[in-house]
Amino acid sequence: MEHELETTRGIVSRLTDVEETLERSREEFSEQIKGTYRNASMAWQSMEQLERKTQHQDKQLRQVCEKLKEHDEQLDRLHAGQLELRDADISLEERIENIAETMEELEDSHDARDAQEDDHLARHNGRHLRRSSTSDTLRPNFPSGPLGPLGGGANPFDSHGHSQVGRPPVQGHGEGSALDGSLMPHLSRTPPLSARSMGAWTVHISLLPHARVPMPFERNTNAYQRCLSRGLHQMVAVHGRDAGSFIKAIEKAFGMFLRGRPWMPLQAKLCDAEPLQGLPMLRQLEASMVDSSYDHDFLRKNCAVCDSSGMIDSLYIAMRHDTISWHTLRHAPVFMEGLEAAWAYDPMLDTDPFDGDMAIDDRERPAAGEITTVLPSLAPPSSLKRSRTEMTRSNSFGAAAPPVDSEGTRVKRTCPAPPSSSILELRRRVERAA
């Protein structure tokens, strides 16, 4: 019995130890579970903070994108303003040239009037000398030798019979004085310093990619900026009013594209239709005028866009039989920086199927800006209607371009031009705003 009691006591003590161990393990597990819950709560809080930070960063990114868009718009406005300022500079230069030419015409008229006065004075002086030679024998008291600036044997009396003795010295003929001693300042005028006295003149010239274009490209379009970036629109100085000087200036300015191929000026007339008022309409010269002498008078009467004073404002030329493609212009040297964005892909312009082939000649490529060409595969075999290319060459205006009522009329615009009588005022407002 005692052995059984001891065994029972041992079992009870062991069970007690097991219960204590189980209680301690349960408490430890409870603490671990609580720590796990705390860690999970902290993780959720961190995720919430991360989400808030992400939302804040997204908001900041949106603000940055909006600011970048505003900066892009400001850059576009600055670029447009720069183009307006460039056009204003061209307009001012043209006005200065017009003023110089007007001054030259006034000087020419003064010179002609002076020449007439000189001839009149010479004839009057000749008659006076003949009268004095016949009356020398009647005036023995006057010396026959030199009398100061009057020269040897000159008559000491003026044309009215008054004595010249005691008067101030009188300048000879051609020095700006008359025989009666009155000064003529316009005869001693210094020659003009302007180059216009030698016949030099400047003009804005556009080399068009092909001769069939009905109107030049409007300003600020991709086509216009592409041509401007490669030098198809230039202010050209012509050192003479003969045809040789004009041809030499054209070859110097556009020789890289012409390469000795025949070219011709185009006839231009300002459009009087309401939507396109102020824009020039173009057409090729008549066959009888193509081989004419392209001097200043011919260009002013038949080809040029003139200002209100009748001076040449702008000219348009094109090759007679050849064209220029966008492919050629794209690979030409850059003439004006800052316009390369215009060479981005444009579905209306970039229709050359051989754009990647450098071996194809320009004669097989579509001309730059010629978007009205009908492909042979699409044209009906026996159509009675005119093609769109033929309609662009319709005889829609006269051969001559009379002077217009606007000064400094630009030929490329982004919007319909105002009436021709207010173009000068519009340009002045643009210059003041710039």
Q: Which domain holds residue 16?
A: 1-129
Strand 312-319 to 305-306 pairing? antiparallel
Indicate if 225 and 305 belong to the same structural domain: yes
Q: Domain boundary at 104, 129, 154, which? A: 129
Residue 190 lies in a domain: no
pLDDT reported for residue 176: 40
Indicate if 400 and 264 belong to the same structural domain: yes
pLDDT band at 364 (very low <50, low <70, confident <90, very high): low
Please count the other Cβ atoms lying within 10 Å of the Cβ belonging to residue 292: 15
User: Is the separation of the CB atoms in 167 and 149 below 8 Å?
Assistant: no
Indicate if 224 and 353 belong to the same structural domain: yes
Q: Is the pLDDT of residue 128 over 70?
A: no
Indicate if 334 and 227 belong to the same structural domain: yes
Indicate if 121 and 204 belong to the same structural domain: no
Residue 148 lies in a domain: no
CA angle 6, 7, 13 (to 5 degrees): 90
Residue 152 lies in a domain: no
Indicate if 120 and 203 belong to the same structural domain: no
What is the reported pTM? 0.43
Neighbouring C-alpha atoms within 13 Å toward the C-beta of 13: 6
User: What DSSP assignment string belongs to 376-403?
Assistant: TTTS-TT--SPPHHHHTT---S-S--PP
Distance separating alpha carbons of residues 291 and 241, to the nearest angstrom: 17
Q: Is the pLDDT of residue 113 over 90?
A: no
pLDDT tens column, 30-71? 999 999 999 999 999 999 999 999 999 999 999 999 999 999
Indicate if 20 and 120 belong to the same structural domain: yes
Indicate if 204 and 340 belong to the same structural domain: yes
- Strand, coil or helix: 237: strand
Q: Domain boundary at 74, 98, 129, which? A: 129
Between 31 and 385, residue with greater pLDDT: 31
pLDDT tens column, 333-346? 999 888 889 888 88
pLDDT over 70 percentage in the chain: 65
Q: Is the pLDDT of residue 396 over 90?
A: no
Burial of 163 (0-12, 13-18, 19+ CB in 10 A): exposed
Indicate if 275 and 424 belong to the same structural domain: yes
